[in-house]
Structures are given as structure tokens and as C-alpha cells.
Amino acid sequence: MNVLNIQNLKVLFRAGEGFVRAVEGVTITVGEGERVAIVGESGCGKSVTSLACMRLLNTPPAYITADALTFVSKDGKTHDLLSKTETEMLALRAEEMAMIFQDPSTFLNPVMTIGEQLDEVFIYHMKMKKKEARRHSIEMMKKVGIPDPEMRAGQYPHELSGGLKQRILIAMATSLSPRLLIADEPTTALDVTIQAQILKLISERCEKEKMSLLMITHDLGVVREMADRVYVMYCGKIVEEGTVQEILENPKHPYTKALVDTVPGIDERVERFVQIPKSVPHPMHKPSGCYFSNRCSYCTELCKKKQPPLRDIGNGRTVRCYYDAEELWEK
Amino acid sequence: MGEVILKTNDLTVDFKVRKNIFGKADRLSAVQNVNIEIKKGEIYGLVGESGCGKTTLANAILGFVPITSGSIECFGHTIDAKTKASEWKDVRRHMQTVFQDPYSSLNTRFKVWEIISEPLYIAGERNEKLLCDRAASLVEKVGLSLADLDRYVFEFSGGQRQRIAIARALISDAELIICDEPTSALDVSVHSQICNLLLDLREEFELTYLFISHNLSLIKHITDHMAVMYLGEVMECGATEKIFENPACPYTEALMSAILEVNPKKKRERIILSGEARSPINPPDLCRFANRCPKACEFCQTSPLPPFAKLSEDHMARCHLNYK
């Protein structure tokens, strides 16, 4: 059963005279207890997709449409996220679906202590008294591995390091054991050794609370570490979908292949790096036809004219390319 | 590999921090007794996490922050805490830098040719035609077109902006280019373009790079020598190949194991460090990594950091474990 079901999601932003099509018909499903990743570069629409699911985009300037955007809560009810009012969404967020953001320092309120901010979750959603809420907060802080939680609860966000702040965010997001956890680049702002700690913590929490995970990242290493299934996005469209093992070992789309190839293995030293020419097109001036056509080394006339459809190639994999990968790589 | 062009002798940079205006100033130790040697034509890597002092070290070499003690020998000059600004200017002519974020390191009110030729302008060249010509001679070498010279930076993507920054670093014929995380603000698909460009330019202009990064896998692929820094101190340094083959400091090992492997066939043991780096303010005279080190024993927690142990030709580490 799918916890989150996104069918043909489109998000437009009004920008000056025209529109920016940030997400163009994305279909993503997250099963129960499944760990799914969306991978792509900045501007590919991966964050907008997750924000649309949480209904955290202001409308306008954003315009969201979808054939279906449904979420199944713990009691088995199916919710249509697009038709919910803000009040109904408030009840759903944190209790049923929660999100961790990239930069913990902008997420936390600088004029409230860490303890107060954690307490809010319990006071608002569980209608607890202050003292009881604090007891739960401290308990949560222990669960996410914060040393000396009583002292930390009285501190303000600026007194904490980035890694600790991210732990606080994880504590907040997972305190009511939601059904779905969305993590939007949770380790990008952190150091490598702290990244290892945080990734481990997220997977532990997901396993323990039986949460589904939607991981948004640009790092294929994180994908490999954290996900079972992955969607590759480019310029607002999904270009490839499959299990992590399959995609990393045997990519079928030229973009995915290029991404995998640009990361050299650690064991052997390379003299030059494999590079993708040019850069990501401006969201208002995407190429006609296949969006990757101007950077693709296998591009043909057909690619420049018409956008390829998402093809099912069996084995639970889909790819947005006219050609079979085996033929392409031989060229 | 040629002669040594830059050498630091026990270079130390401290900052003074005060809790309030009446209190006694605390000592924030940003760089502590660093000795590195950069040879002509090589790429010297500097790795470490944020706050470990790698950028401060680069800034000290460029003269952006005052040296507290120790000295830098470069291009025939010896620079220490007492060196006058006029001598600094002489030395700095040989060095240029590429900053991390091309969105903030380029002046948005300048045209591209003005940005690229600014180092020459500062050096005293006022002939506009000549400045423009020099910029034009470089712009194609970094992968931009002549038409781009008359544009403003907002029209360019991150990767292109970084190319402009690289052209600016090249124009004054500097020998040593300090690259401070030149790729980390860019899109993943553009990383390799910039790295390849830097490698090509090194051959063409016979450059030497001091390459600062927190990305160990990048450092492995492009550098000849490297130093691993932790909280202001160099923990291990030497030939890149040797350090990767046989890391002698537990911190280096942990950093290496934190590299995320993409190939699903490869399985690696991961060392996950507990806790976080201690505060650099008034640090005790111990191994600064001891509180997180998975191999630390009581001896590490109580005795001062040992001097560098020479493990082999071109490989040194500073750890008690190498003395047992």
C-alpha cells in the first residue's frame, strides 16, 4: 500500500510576465516503510515537489495541480492533500507527515529556547501541560543522542552547532512518530563526519518508528546509503526511476549515467574527471524537446523536436529516453 | 617537481575573543604551529572540516589575517608577524586566489573584463585598451567567449562565474593559486568541468595550486601532497598516495570512511565518530582530537601532543599511536 501517492503533479510559479514551470507532471509513490529518494541538481524541482506535498507553498505565487495527491494516515484513511484547508493540514503535519530541512539554523526560532520549541509539538498536538511536555522533550532529545539534554533545553539555537541543531530538527519531526518523514537535503549544510552521524540517526529513527522516508538529495552517495528506490529528476521532470542498486549499477538515461560517471571511485585515481558539458538550463528557457538534449552526447534530431515519454522498461524501471541504453552506450 | 616555493615555519594564527568589553580576552586558536611545504608545479591539498582552520591558513599565507607567530618563506621573502605592508605587496604579487562562492566573490556592478583585469589595475596599470586585451587573451582559455567580456555577472550561471574568477586569478601571472573550495558552491554536474579546467590550466601556465577542500575524494584524485587539519593543527601530511594507502592518524581514517561510495558493489567499513569538535577557545595542550578519537587511551587524554613521527619518506603524522 502506498503511503504517499503523487500522480502527475504540476507546480507553476508566476514570475514577472510569465510562468516558471518548476515541476512538470511528476508521479511518485512511497510505500509503507519504504525509503525513497529523489535525486537531482539545484533547480530540478525536487524540493518544490516535497513542499507541495506538505502544502508549504504559498498559492499564489505557486499554482499546484495534480491528478492525485493523496496520503494514507495511520488510521487507514485516505486524505486528498490538495483539497485540505490549512487547519486540516496543521493537524496532519507533525502527527502524520513531517519534514526535516536543509539548513537547521533558519528553521529554528532564534528567540525561543530549544526546549520551548520542542515542547510546542507536544503542547499543540497532544494537548499536554508544560511540565509534561518538557519531560517528553527531554526524552526525545535523549533518543536523538543529544548529550546533557536538560542543559541544552535551556539554550538558544545560536549556542548549538549545526549537527546538534539538525538533531533537534529530527527530534521535532519524529517526536509524534509520523507515518512519512520527508528529509530535504538534511546533511548538505553539515561536515562529512557529522553527515555520517545524522544519516545513521535518520535511518535508525525510521526503522524504530516504522516511518516511510522520502529523501531529497543531490548526492548519489547519500542515495546509496539511505534509499531502496530512487527517482532521478532533471528540469522538473522525472527522467528515470528504479531501485537504487539497479540505477547506480546500470543507469539507462544519459543524464543518470553522466551523473554516476562524474563521481569517480575512491579506490583508483583518475587523471581527468568525466564531465557533462554546459550547465542546467534556465527554468524559463528550457530547450524544446528533451530537456537534456542540449547537454546529451547521444542527442538526435528527434530528441530536439519532441519530449520523450516516460517508458516502462520492466523490472519496475521507467526511463524518459527514446533509445535503449545498450544501443546508446555502444555508440 | 621543482623547488619549494612556499614553506611555513610553525605558523600560528590566534584571534582574540572577548565575552564582554571588560572581560579578559580569550585566545581562539585558529592555526597552531603549521609546517607545510609546497613545491613548484604540484597541487597541495588541505582537508578538514569547517572550523579546522584551513581557510585561515590560506588567508594567513595571502596576508589577509595577521600572523601571531612563526613565519612564511615564499618567493625569496621571509614573512613573519613584523613584516611591513610594503614587503607583503611584493610577495602577494605571486599569489592569487579563487574563492568558494562565485556569487559573492565577483562585483556585480563590473563588466566581466573589468573583473578579470582588476588585479592588473590594482598593480598600477591604467591603460584600458591594454587591460581589455589582456582579459580577452584569457577569456577563451577558461571556456568563455569574447562576447562575454562586455556582459555583467548576473547573466552567468555558477559554473561560468567560477570560470571568470579563475581568469581573474590568472591574469597577473601569479605562480601560486589558492583555490578555496572552488567547486563546493556549484552544481554536481559542473564540478568536473571546473576541476578539469584547473588541471588543464596548471599544465599550460605551469601553476602551483594550494587546493582547499572538505571533499576527500576530490583531494585524492587531484593532489600530489596533502595535509589533514583538525582544529587548527595539522594531524597528518605527506604524499597523497601514501596517506590514502596507509592513514596513520585515526582522524584521517574517520574522514576517509565518511566518503560516501556510489558504486553499490563496494562495501566499506564505516567509522562513525561520536560527538563534535571541541571549542577552539583556549584549547588544552593535548591532542585536540582525543575527545572524539575511537582509538584514544588515557595517555592521549593527559599528555601533550607528540611531535611529527616520520613514517616513511614523505609521510608524517602526529599521533601517540605511532610512538607505541
| B120 occurs within a structural domain | no
Q: Say if residue A206 is in the same domain as residue A71.
A: yes
Q: Which of A150, A177, A204 is the last residue of a domain?
A: A177
Comparing alpha-carbon positions, the chain B residue that sits nearest to A257 is B189
Task: Give how far A285 is from chain B: nearest CA, Å.
Answer: 13
| A315 occurs within a structural domain | no
pLDDT at B13: 92
- Give me the mean pLDDT over the A41-70 stretch: 88
Query: Using the beta-carbon criterion (under 8 Å), do A266 and B157 form an inter-chain contact?
Result: no
Instruction: List the CATH number of the domain containing A240.
Output: 3.40.50.300
Q: Say if residue A20 is in the same domain as residue A70.
A: yes
Q: Say if residue A64 is in the same domain as residue A185.
A: yes
ipTM tops the 0.85 cut: no
Q: Which of A160, A177, A194 is the last residue of a domain?
A: A177
Could you read off the pLDDT of A275-308 as tens digits, one per residue? 888 888 888 888 888 998 888 888 888 888 888 9
| B140 occurs within a structural domain | no
Decide if pLDDT at A101 tops 90: no
Confidence of residue B97 (pLDDT cuts 50, 70, 90): very high
Using an 8 Å CB-CB cutoff, list chain A residues near B270. Answer: 196
The pTM score is: 0.85
Which site among A271, A273, A296 would you substitute to test the B interface, given the most B Cβ atoms closer than 10 Å to its Cβ? A273
pLDDT at B155: 85
User: How many structural domains are present in chain A?
Assistant: 2
Comparing alpha-carbon positions, the chain B residue that sits nearest to A222 is B260
Query: Using the beta-carbon criterion (under 8 Å), do B187 and A273 form an inter-chain contact?
Result: no
Q: Say if residue A56 is in the same domain as residue A117.
A: no
Q: Say if residue A37 is in the same domain as residue A120.
A: no
Comparing alpha-carbon positions, the chain B residue that sits nearest to A268 is B221
Query: Using the beta-carbon criterion (under 8 Å), do A196 and B273 form an inter-chain contact?
Result: yes
Decide if pLDDT at B82 tops 70: yes
pLDDT at B42: 92
Is residue B37 helix, strand or coil? strand
Using an 8 Å CB-CB cutoff, list chain B residues near A218. Answer: 187-188
Q: Say if residue A116 is in the same domain as residue A199.
A: no
Grid cell of B126 as nine digits: 591604467
Could you read off the pLDDT of A218-262 as tens digits, one per residue? 888 889 888 999 999 999 999 999 999 989 888 999 999 888 888
Query: Using the beta-carbon criterion (under 8 Å), do A164 and B216 form an inter-chain contact?
Result: no
Q: Say if residue A91 is in the same domain as residue A196.
A: yes
Q: Which of A121, A155, A177 is the last residue of a domain?
A: A177
pLDDT at A175: 87
- Give me the mean pLDDT over the A196-218 stretch: 89
Confidence of residue B162 (pLDDT cuts 50, 70, 90): very high
pLDDT at B79: 87
For chain B, percent of residues with pLDDT exceeding 90: 38
Parent domain of A161: 106-177
Query: Using the beta-carbon criterion (under 8 Å), do A192 and B259 form an inter-chain contact?
Result: yes
User: How many structural domains are present in chain B?
Assistant: 1
Interface residues on B facing A, Cβ-Cβ cutoff 8 A: 49-50, 157-160, 187-193, 195-196, 199, 214, 216-217, 220-221, 241, 254-255, 257-266, 270, 272-276
Using an 8 Å CB-CB cutoff, list chain B residues near A273. Answer: 191-192, 195-196, 221
Decide if pLDDT at B169 tops 80: yes
pLDDT at A188: 81
| A15 occurs within a structural domain | yes
Q: Say if residue A194 is in the same domain as residue A127.
A: no
| B161 occurs within a structural domain | no
| B266 occurs within a structural domain | yes
| A283 occurs within a structural domain | no
| B298 occurs within a structural domain | yes
Task: Give how far A12 is from chain B: nearest CA, Å.
Answer: 22
- Give me the mean pLDDT over the A107-135 stretch: 90
Q: Say if residue A170 is in the same domain as residue A118.
A: yes
pLDDT at B324: 66
- Give me the mean pLDDT over the A57-86 stretch: 87
Q: Give residue A204's region: left, alpha or beta (phi > 0; psi -120 to 50).
A: alpha
Query: Using the beta-carbon criterion (under 8 Å), do B272 and A200 form an inter-chain contact?
Result: yes
pLDDT at B1: 59
Decide if pLDDT at A265 tops 90: no
pLDDT at B113: 93
Could you read off the pLDDT of A172-192 as tens digits, one per residue? 888 888 899 999 988 887 778
Comparing alpha-carbon positions, the chain A residue that sits nearest to B221 is A269
Instruction: List the CATH number of the domain containing B307.
Output: 3.40.50.300
Could you read off the pLDDT of B240-287 as tens digits, one per residue? 999 998 899 999 998 888 888 777 777 777 788 877 777 888 888 888
- Give me the mean pLDDT over the A138-142 stretch: 88
Lowest-confidence segment of A78-87, A172-181, A189-198, B67-76 by average pLDDT: A189-198
Parent domain of B232: 4-94+175-323
